Amino acid sequence: MGEGSEKRKLMKSFGSRILANRIHFLFLLLWISACGRQESSQTPAPANVSGVLTYYFNSREGSRADIGARAALVRMEDAKEFLEIAKTGGSLILPTSVGLSVSGGNVTFTTPGSNPIFMHSFRETSADATGRFSLERIPPGNYLLMLKSNHTNSLEIRELALNTADLVDASHDFGKN
């Protein structure tokens, strides 16, 4: 009788330790899960800007994809000099013969008779064979979106105020040459 009683006590003790370990493990999992949720809620989700760029080809075919058109996103604070020249009365006023080149992280804006303005692009890309472009994982903030046609002499500039997890459609038809 003593040996069976000892085994039962030992099994009971062993079982309670297993139960205690399981409870500790569950609390640990809950704590890790709660910590992960706090971190993810503190990190704002990025915004995405995408669209399709087209230009008017002819009356029979209409608009076509503007393959190779450039899209550049510039932080508003990096575009102050540009805005001083181009912004009048709350809207952007640009001469018809402007130049915009986007290359290697830099945007160069030129107008006839003025010195070029150099801006660092936050993100840049080219339109693909379907005219589609995408600028992804953009932190919330104020930006200028600059779109330059590869087939016409057109330039589109928009101010964007991006919030957390925005999905912005910036499609544009540059029209006739």
Residue pLDDT tens, the chain, 177 long: 566 667 666 566 655 666 556 666 666 666 676 666 554 456 778 999 999 999 999 999 999 999 999 888 888 887 777 776 666 555 555 555 556 666 666 667 666 566 666 766 678 889 999 999 999 999 899 998 988 888 887 888 888 999 988 999 999 999 876
| 25 and 51 together in one domain | no
53 three-class SS: strand
| 101 and 129 together in one domain | yes
| 103 and 36 together in one domain | no
The secondary structure of residue 132, as a DSSP letter, is E
Q: Tell me which residue range forms the domain holding 33.
A: 1-43
Contact 158, 84 (CB under 8 A): no
